[in-house]
Homo-oligomer: A and B are copies of this chain.
Amino acid sequence: MPFTNRSLAAREAILSAARARFTEQGYDRTTIRQVATDANIDPSMVMRYYGSKDGLFAAAVDVDLKLPELGAIPREEVGGVLANHFVTMWRNDRNGPLSILLRSAVTHEEAAERLRAVFADQVTVMVRRLLGDGAEAELRAGLLSTHLLGIALTRFILALPPVASLDDEDLVAITAEYVDRVLNGPLPVGTAASGGGREQRVRRS
């Protein structure tokens, strides 16, 4: 179906209503009918645009991390640039696609699969561009994702003190140090095994 201005506005109204409902009450309790009512659009149109509740969810959590191109940035500034990017992104996303995806992913395998895809397609690709292909770049990308998701979880979702009440600039400084170390520092992997080749023991998944 052609994307007219009218259908684009309708789609945006639907996605916005869907994100609000998914945030408030989760995937299970959200219905196409509720979203249609909120968006002031007939439920049949929601089905026509998105096919199913699952299709609507997928469209609502279509996450673009908008990661910066790191190749152009001096290596010692990479940690700060990435930390700043993530803290700003999470602050602006509070009830956005990424928060919905994370909240849903802990109980829904489909959402978890989608979240894994976001990190594989975007964070891992970015780190590979910086560090080259190979298991070690993949592991560093995974650990970077672990820390960024940990920060998102404790600061923005669980509101764990005192991480939740840190100044943005302190959070960026702390995150920058970790990002720098996880991208460039030593990786204590395989050292427990007796002299085993480190690269070999980093498993591809």
Give A191 to B170 CA distance when docked, in angstroms: 8
Are the CB atoms of B106 and A153 closer together than 8 Å? yes
**A74 CB–B CB distance under 8 Å:** no
Are the CB atoms of A165 and B106 closer together than 8 Å? no
Contact of A115 among B26, B103, B116, B158 (CB under 8 A): B158
- Contacts A147-B147, A174-B143 given; indicate if A201 touches B115 (C-beta within 8 A): no
Stretch at the interface among A34-42, A60-68, A90-98, A182-190: A182-190
Give A158 to B105 CA distance when docked, in angstroms: 7
**A161 CB–B CB distance under 8 Å:** yes
* Beyond A139-B163, A173-B192, A177-B188, 18 extra complex contacts between A and B, CB < 8 Å: A103-B107, A105-B158, A106-B157, A112-B157, A139-B162, A142-B162, A142-B163, A146-B150, A146-B153, A153-B153, A161-B205, A162-B203, A162-B205, A165-B205, A167-B203, A170-B202, A174-B189, A176-B188
**Residues of A bordering B, CB below 8 Å:** 26, 28-29, 102-103, 105-107, 112, 115-116, 119-120, 135, 138-139, 142-143, 145-147, 149-151, 153-155, 157-167, 169-170, 172-174, 176-177, 181, 187-193, 201-205
